[in-house]
Amino acid sequence: MTQNLYASFEAQFRAHAPATALHMDGRADWSYAELEAQASRAAGALLAFGVKPGDRVVAQTPKCAEAVALYLGCLKAGAVYVPLNTAYTRAEVDYFLGDAEPALFVADVGADTSGVAVQVATMDAAGRGTFSEAASGATPCDATAPRAADDLAAIVYTSGTTGRSKGAMLTHANLASNAEALCAAWGFTSADTQLHALPIFHVHGLFVALHCAFLTGSSLAFLLRFDARNCMAWLPRCTVMMGVPTFYTRLLASVGFSRGLCEGVRVFISGSAPLAEQTFDAFAERTGHRILERYGMSETLMNTSNPLHGERVAGTVGFSLPGVEARVVDEDAAPRPVGEVGDIEVRGPNVFTGYWRMPDKTAAEMRPDGFFRTGDLGVMDAHGRLSIVGRAKDLVISGGYNVYPKEIERLIDAMPEVAESAVIGVPHPDFGEGVVAVVQPVADAVALAAVSAALDGQLARFKQPKQVVCVAELPRNAMGKVQKNVLRDRYANLFAERP
Ligand code: MCA
Ligand code: AMP
């Protein structure tokens, strides 16, 4: 029997054929029958483009229903789906295309693809473009490609502490096991309607949110971006919402966001970044809902979750999902005592098979007993409830997006007028953490605008520092290493008054 994840989805699509899969703003909804037909057409188009099982398909498309069909078509055709953040610049995309070596790159209609060395198709925000033209002209692909459990379904790029992005290889079994665990843990049924305002190029919006719907035949209120007012308009029709903490702080900051709007919602779920206890408390106060926080990574999908039934504790990420083992250990993998900080490591069917074409990096992060080193620091209580208390990796999480300081520092340090830079994250009222570059110039000063100009076009805008600060000397320890903790303390209030 095939282990292709699409086969499980297809069974649900057929069982719920007349039900609405995607409720949409300003265009006709798609039923599950329509979604299945579109996925078969997308798979047919992929075959027509010459895509074979195991080939990579890179997608950097606007969020639209046709992009969901493209993802499903890739699964169905046995291709490996490689989603890219729509904010990535041409320079960033060139790296991913060179690394993934796809058989097809589906780009935004407006993107600059001149000189791209791979086959290109296009898709715009309304789903139109050469990919959809091929899909409507192609013979729909009825047969789902047979896949083994360990065959790759997707590669998700995640930046690294070295500044070079790594492709996390996720198999059909990884995605299927995690989706099943989440549907059970969060009680999804076909009666649910999930408010979906997340982007679909990351694990959260693509796998966690969509798979919960596709495995249960439940509906999605499929919004093209997060806008607090629009979410408030849709919430009364929804039973579940998933989001990053910024979604919840923005809802709380919105006039008219009230308990009444949330009456039909059975659970609000948060992840991708720490949910502040004050947000949890304010949300409970305003709506009567205790947000359910969970913890995951691109490499591991979802690891732990607060319970659907039972106490959800602010500042904690709950218990290991069924089948997943999470432990808190020291450098030598010896367990840390209950209540003491250590490295979080994870093992289970959710854990990826390694970094694409980077066996050394994979080996460095995997323990011999199969545990993956997350780079997160945590504390386990006596009941197995996990709290994340920090990061061993140098990473900033801004509005749910990961920003690796090294990637930015490398570009700033290449400026002749800069001696050294240190990029840090400090508290930000909207994004949780805001990116700040602290720059030590060679001579007297460096024009701050010049720093921003040096990054423009190189880095996605969300990675670019919200503030650049010039200092005569960066603080260093006895070994000469920049003390980022000193800088984080010094600039902790930089965004205090900035919405
Ligand atoms: C947008 N901007 C940002 C961010 N988003 N700056 C910093 N951090 C951000 N997250 C900047 C843009 O570059 C632009 O800047 C300006 O804000 C307006 O852009 P716009 O797109 O209009 O912003 P927005 O629509 O308000 O977006 C904010 C957002 C969005 C809704 C919070 O960032 C978002 O949807 N975040 C969700 C991320 C996510 O899905 N993460 C899951 C990763 P300028 O004006 O200078 O050009 S998966 C994961 O982490 C694991 C597996 C897990 O556990 O889930
Ligand atoms: P990514 O590389 O985009 O998959 O991001 C994964 C990282 O996001 C994790 O290693 C954590 O540092 C962080 N993360 C995800 N969920 C949570 C959460 N609920 N609380 C704190 N950090 C989180």
Ligand nearest to the CA of 376: 2
User: pLDDT value at position 1?
Assistant: 82
Strands (E), 149-305: 152-158, 166-171, 193-196, 219-222, 240-243, 267-270, 292-297, 301-305
Q: Which residue from 462, 467, 495 has its CB within 8 A of the most atoms of ligand 1, so it is best to mutate?
A: 462
Domain residue ranges of the chain, discontinuous segments joined by +: 5-174, 268-391, 396-497
Q: Which of 432, 208, 161, 425 is nearest to 302 (CA)?
A: 208
CATH code: domain 5-174 is 3.40.50.12780
Residue 120 has pLDDT above 80, yes or no: yes
Quick: pLDDT tens for 56-111. Answer: 999 999 999 999 999 999 999 999 999 999 999 999 999 999 999 999 999 999 99
Which is the closest atom of ligand 2 to the Cα of 299? Answer: 4
Mean predicted confidence (pLDDT) in 422-442: 96
Q: Which residue from 178, 246, 396, 428 has its CB within 8 A of the most atoms of ligand 1, so it is best to mutate?
A: 246
400 C-alpha to ligand 1 centroid (Å): 7
Which is the closest atom of ligand 1 to the Cα of 298? Answer: 52
Quick: pLDDT tens for 125-180. Answer: 999 999 999 999 999 999 999 999 999 999 999 987 666 799 999 999 999 999 99
Which is the closest atom of ligand 1 to the Cα of 205? Answer: 40
Quick: pLDDT tens for 207-235. Answer: 999 999 999 999 999 999 999 999 999 99
Confidence of residue 327 (pLDDT cuts 50, 70, 90): very high
pTM, two decimals, is 0.96
14 C-alpha to ligand 1 centroid (Å): 35
Q: Are 104 and 118 in contact (CB under 8 A)?
A: yes
State how far the Cα of 28 lies from the Cα of 411, in Å rounded to an integer.
45
**Ligand 1 environment, Cβ below 6 A:** 198-199, 202-205, 225-226, 244, 246, 271-272, 296-298, 398-401, 431, 461-462
User: pLDDT value at position 317?
Assistant: 98
The CATH architecture assigned to 268-391 reads Roll (2.30)
351 C-alpha to ligand 2 centroid (Å): 14
CA distance readout (Å), 53 to 20, 122, 149, 274: 30, 21, 14, 38
Quick: pLDDT tens for 457-496. Answer: 899 999 999 999 999 999 999 888 999 999 999 999 999 8
Q: Is any atom of ligand 2 closer than 6 Å to the C-beta of 317?
A: yes
Which is the closest atom of ligand 2 to the Cα of 158? Answer: 2
Query: Which CATH superfamily is 396-497 part of?
Result: ANL, C-terminal domain (3.30.300.30)
User: What does DSSP assign to residue 67?
Assistant: H
Task: Return all residues near 387 (Cβ < 8 A) that are at least 6 apart.
Answer: 315, 316, 317, 378, 379, 381
Q: Are 202 and 84 in contact (CB under 8 A)?
A: no
Residue 328 bridge partners (DSSP): 344
Q: Which of 209, 221, 218 is nearest to 182 (CA)?
A: 209
Residue type (1 letter), 95: Y
223 C-alpha to ligand 2 centroid (Å): 23
Ligand nearest to the CA of 228: 1
State how far the Cα of 447 lies from the Cα of 375, in Å rounded to an integer.
35
Query: Which residue lies with its CA nearest to atom 35 of ligand 1?
Result: 198
Which is the closest atom of ligand 2 to the Cα of 294? Answer: 19
State how far the Cα of 298 lies from the Cα of 82, in Å rounded to an integer.
12
Residue type (1 letter), 278: Q
User: pLDDT value at position 497?
Assistant: 61
Pairing outcome for strands 401-403 and 396-398: antiparallel
User: Rg (Cα) of the chain, in Å, rounded?
Assistant: 22
Task: Return all residues near 326 (Cβ < 8 A) that are at least 6 apart.
Answer: 303, 304, 320, 344, 345, 346, 378, 380, 386
Task: Return all residues near 76 (Cβ < 8 A) that are at least 6 apart.
Answer: 4, 6, 10, 39, 40, 42, 43, 141, 144, 145
Mean pLDDT for all residues in the chain: 96
Residue 447 has pLDDT above 80, yes or no: no
Q: Is any atom of ligand 2 closer than 6 Å to the C-beta of 92?
A: no
Residue 498 has pLDDT above 50, yes or no: no
CA torsion, ordered 193, 199, 201, 206, to nearest 10 deg: -10
Q: Are 187 and 308 in contact (CB under 8 A)?
A: yes
User: pLDDT value at position 499?
Assistant: 44
Q: Which residue from 305, 376, 431 has its CB within 8 A of the most atoms of ligand 2, so it is best to mutate?
A: 376
Q: Put the strands of the sheet holding 152-158 in their side by side order.
A: 120-123, 104-108, 56-60, 80-83, 152-158, 166-171, 354-355
State how far the Cα of 80 lies from the Cα of 450, in Å rounded to an integer.
40
Query: Which residue lies with its CA nearest to atom 6 of ligand 1?
Result: 462
Mean predicted confidence (pLDDT) in 374-401: 96
Pairing outcome for strands 401-403 and 240-243: unpaired
Which is the closest atom of ligand 2 to the Cα of 388? Answer: 21
Q: Are 106 and 83 in contact (CB under 8 A)?
A: no
